[in-house]
Amino acid sequence: MTPFVVYFLDGEQYGLWGVFQSLAAITTLFDFGFATTFARNINYCWNGAGKLEKTGGMFSEQSEPNFYLMKKTMKACQTVFLLISVAALVIMLTAGTFYVRYISSAISGEEPEIAWIICSIAIFLNLYFGYYGSFLRGVGAISDANKATVYSKAVQIIVTIVLLACGFGIVGTSVAYLVYGTLYRIIARQSFYKYKGIGDRLKEVKNIIPIEEIKEMFWTVWHNAWREGIVSLANYLANQATTIICSLYMPLTQTGSYSLAVRLGMAVAQVSSAMYTANQPVLQSAYINNDKAKMKKKMSLIVFSYTVLDIVGMLLVVIVGLPLLRLIRPETVVSTSIMVAIGFYQFILKFRNCYTSYFSCTNRIPYIKAFLISSIGCVVLSFIFMGWFHYGVWGLIVAQIISQGIYNAWAWMVKAHKEMDLSAQETIFYGWRETKQIIESFLKKRSKRNV
């Protein structure tokens, strides 16, 4: 979709769209860790946990899902997200609109405000119904969650191209974003209730969940949710917030170039972390069943596959992606050196998360203070390098790398390896072996289909 947006929008509009995307990322702050925490607890219910704990978890002695506990968890989740999404919408339509007016003063007409209002509605719907995607991952329906994303994204791309070609500009991109979010939630909801008869099994739970039990569930989840929320805030400050800082010191055209590079780096890291995403429920299941050997193998697979795929992905961006984008609109593309530096930083963030996911899958959030301190340091250094020293985009990149490199980039890797009793050599060995098995299994399935 990026090449079409870059082609049809002028420099200022594309820069504004980049800011919209950064503001949309703030929605991860409004859920304050509830999406991640609820998904993890749904996984515990799916694996037969008899009770949810504030920290750690009750190891399962049965394989049958606990549907009563799952239904109670879902009821609490729906109530919480209704309140959160309404609060988010109010803030976006007030403070968000004021900010958009401020940075888009050079763009004539009311198009920026109209686009932002549509985008705000899309964010509201995404946040309110977003838990269905988390529920799918919680029960291990990763392929269904991925299909919902692919189908919805394909429709978004088509709608974006059509509306941009018809001259709707940034309003068209906002409408397409609204279509994507709405369609994703519909597909994810249907997929969740159809997955292994979950919908029918939940209907069999005739008990009306008492308000007291929903409140109890809220406080159980809240114990780690607020910590996850702080982590989300830290991640936002360490990554997405730099686009907003950039827009305060640089023109929208340059902000758009920086935003494009960040999006490319994030996309590579996101695609490369496919095994990371797919194996979160597996790690949680291994933990609840106290299967330490399985956790070692899956962590090795996550780290090994991510590292290899990210390197290959960044090479493709530099060798193929940037030259193609320069043909479309040369002024919106950053230099190769800046792209590599941004890609390296995005690699650090996701590599760090590969290891912190080990702790979160065991219902512990020990990295909250380190994340918060480093993210605040990142913002402070960004303002210093941009405002006082006028280092431009390089100031943002250096601030980010320094803030993570001091501790988070390596500390959680060391702690996780020590706790799992997993050496670097074993990580490579297990990682390659698990990756090889996945490739061989895939090729066997392909060959059987062709026979």
- The stretch 325-345 carries a mean pLDDT of 88
- Least trusted range by pLDDT, from 76-85, 196-205, 424-433: 76-85
List, for residues 153-180, the tens digit of each pLDDT value.
999 999 999 999 999 999 999 999 999 9
Nearest Cα neighbor of 303 from 139, 426, 439 is: 426
Q: pLDDT grade, residue 56 (50/70/90)?
A: low
Q: pLDDT grade, residue 44 (50/70/90)?
A: confident
The confidence score (pLDDT) of residue 408 equals: 96
The confidence score (pLDDT) of residue 84 equals: 82
List, for residues 58-90, the tens digit of each pLDDT value.
555 556 888 888 888 888 888 888 888 888 889
List, for residues 225-270, the tens digit of each pLDDT value.
777 778 878 888 888 888 889 888 988 888 888 989 998 999 999 9
pLDDT over 60 (residue 57): no
- The stretch 336-354 carries a mean pLDDT of 95
Q: pLDDT grade, residue 304 (50/70/90)?
A: very high
Average pLDDT, the chain: 87
**Contact by Cβ (8 Å): 81, 127:** yes
The confidence score (pLDDT) of residue 33 equals: 63
- Least trusted range by pLDDT, from 89-98, 231-240, 297-306: 231-240
Residue 55, judged by CB atoms within 10 A of its CB (0-12, 13-18, 19+), counts as exposed
The confidence score (pLDDT) of residue 159 equals: 96
The confidence score (pLDDT) of residue 54 equals: 65
Per-domain residue ranges for the chain? 2-445
Q: Which of 18-27, 91-100, 360-369 has the highest mean pLDDT?
A: 91-100
pLDDT over 90 (residue 31): no
209 vs 241 pLDDT, higher one: 241
The confidence score (pLDDT) of residue 278 equals: 82
Q: pLDDT grade, residue 404 (50/70/90)?
A: very high
Contacts of 348 (CB under 8 A, 6+ apart): 401, 404, 405, 409
Contacts of 88 (CB under 8 A, 6+ apart): 26, 27, 30, 123, 124, 127
Percent of the chain, pLDDT > 90? 41
CB under 8 A, 24+ apart: contacts of 86-90: 86/124, 87/30, 88/26, 88/27, 88/30, 88/123, 88/124, 88/127, 89/120, 89/121, 89/123, 89/124
**Contact by Cβ (8 Å): 56, 220:** no
- The stretch 124-143 carries a mean pLDDT of 83
Q: How far apart are CA 67 and CA 201, in angstroms?
A: 7
